[in-house]
Amino acid sequence: MITITLNMSESLLSILRDTGRPGQQTCRIRLETGASVRQVLLKQGISPLLVPMIFLDNRKISVDTPLETDAVLTLHGPLAGG
């Protein structure tokens, strides 16, 4: 088992709030070693379509990246461009 510190940006949290699914800015979750980010999202009830950017310890990764060790996972929601 591994421990993931899960961060969510305000851009994602605000969408979750609007859909009646308030989330936390930071929480810790326990996972089977090798679980994918997609599984994390499913466990949290978050659609992968709402998360355009995912960072694992500050490195951008894809939704299918397996999580092998304890780490900080940060999920960014979509935001308008400039």
45 near another protein, judged by CB under 8 A:
yes
Binding mask 2-31 for another protein (x = CB under 8 A): -----xxxxx-xxxx-xxxx---xx-----
Question: To the nearest whole angstrom, how small is the minimum distance from the Cβ of residue 25 to another protein?
Answer: 6
d(CA 41, CA 55): 13
In the complex with another protein, which residue's Cβ is closer, 2 or 38?
A: 38
Q: Footprint of another protein on this chain (CB under 8 A)?
A: 7-11, 13-16, 18-21, 25-26, 38, 41-42, 45-50, 52-53, 55, 58, 60, 63, 74, 76-82
